[in-house]
A = this chain, B = another copy of it.
């Protein structure tokens, strides 16, 4: 994953690099501003965080226990650490964020062994996992405890409810838990026309890293335990994991607003729509190939490498795979139709210039 542009003081970045490059949705920011009055208890005992908890329970069921953290890595590492002993392993795809993009945090700060299964589209199936479960009870082998899936995946693909259900059944049959890295769960819900509940609790997912930042928050993620039998003592683990922020009200306020009036859904739908618009329009250009169907807010595309050079002078995005020269273009709640159209026009120009 590389970008040819350099860090700069440019305040007018044009980015299709990541949904993290967008700011906060104005309504979220407004909620933060409104939370800034008077004294409140620290560390999540404030009334705003408590309201946010209640709101999350509306979405995930009354058994859910919610713990806010500030990064997706923290949600993944601490959630997985909470449900494993160090001799357990976590099964994930070879493209998983926990394996590729967290700098070894699960291993070093979670003490967790990852068992990675090669996967081109970022998804796992029971059939792919089965061969890795052979050493149960063998003292020399790390003991599998969790299947971790990402929804939507790092490759922009989706798990359908049916696919998740099959994984959950398989997991239960093998005494495993199912963890969902839901950094972009909202985009999956929007794409599949499902509620959060539909895609998690209803299917028997045990624990969830619930993302907010990529879909319009300033900073806010949560570890959500859905299975009532897990997660005991997590409040201590979060504190110890350096994630118990003092002025938690500012996280709670974001979460509360995010879940009100379907803001989360509007943002995710918009991001998905912009990705589809981009894929559709760019896909019609000569010398531009859109890889796979666009299922959420990521577009994977191939254009002539020389055209990439030209585009990177104006835009910020990643060459996702250098070998095949595949580009990743992400959209977000903030992406406008005009931005997409201008980008497509620029792609067209760049491609024409080099052909």
Q: List residues of chain A with CB under 8 Å of any chain B CB.
A: 1-2, 7-15, 17-18, 20-24, 26, 29, 32-33, 35-43, 45, 47, 50-51, 69-74, 77-78, 85-89, 100-105, 107-109, 111-114, 116, 118, 131, 134-135, 138-143, 213-214, 218-219, 233, 235-237, 239-247, 249-250, 316, 322-323, 334
Tell me which residues across on chain B come within 8 A of A72, comparing CB atoms.
246
Partner of A87, one of B38, B112, B138, B240: B240
Partner of A116, one of B21, B116, B131, B250: B116
A247–B233 CB distance below 8 A: no
B236–A139 CB distance below 8 A: yes
Additional 4 contacts, C-beta under 8 A, given A23-B35, A107-B113, A108-B111: A21-B41, A33-B33, A70-B70, A100-B141
Partner of A36, one of B21, B24, B42, B233: B24
A109–B109 CB distance below 8 A: yes
Q: A37-B23, A42-B20, A233-B87 are in contact. Are A239 and B102 (CB under 8 A)?
A: yes
Partner of A23, one of B22, B38, B101: B38
Q: Give the residue name and chain of the B residue nearest to A76 (CB).
A: B242
A242–B142 CB distance below 8 A: no
B24–A73 CB distance below 8 A: no
CA–CA, A333 and B10, complex, Å: 34
Partner of A139, one of B20, B85, B103, B213: B103
A103–B142 CB distance below 8 A: yes
Q: What are 19 inter-chain pairs, A to B, with CB distance below 8 A?
A: A15-B41, A17-B41, A21-B41, A23-B249, A29-B36, A71-B246, A86-B108, A86-B237, A87-B104, A100-B140, A101-B140, A103-B140, A103-B142, A103-B240, A104-B113, A105-B240, A107-B113, A107-B114, A219-B246
B50–A9 CB distance below 8 A: yes
CA–CA, A74 and B246, complex, Å: 12
Q: Give the residue name and chain of the B residue nearest to A234 (CB).
A: B87
Tell me which residues across on chain B come within 8 A of A86, comparing CB atoms.
104, 107-109, 237, 240
Q: Give the residue name and chain of the B residue nearest to A250 (CB).
A: B218
Q: Give the residue name and chain of the B residue nearest to A22 (CB).
A: B39
Tell me which residues across on chain B come within 8 A of A322, comparing CB atoms.
134
Tell me which residues across on chain B come within 8 A of A43, comparing CB atoms.
20, 139-140
CA–CA, A41 and B22, complex, Å: 9
B218–A39 CB distance below 8 A: no
A8–B71 CB distance below 8 A: no
B18–A42 CB distance below 8 A: yes
Determine how close the nearest CB of chain B comes to the CB of A74; give it in whole angstroms: 4
B9–A87 CB distance below 8 A: no
A141–B103 CB distance below 8 A: yes
CA–CA, A341 and B17, complex, Å: 54
Q: Give the residue name and chain of the B residue nearest to A138 (CB).
A: B1
Determine how close the nearest CB of chain B comes to the CB of A55; give it in whole angstroms: 14
Q: A7-B50, A39-B14, A244-B71 are in contact. Are A101 and B141 (CB under 8 A)?
A: yes
Tell me which residues across on chain B come within 8 A of A239, comparing CB atoms.
73, 87, 102-103, 105, 139-140
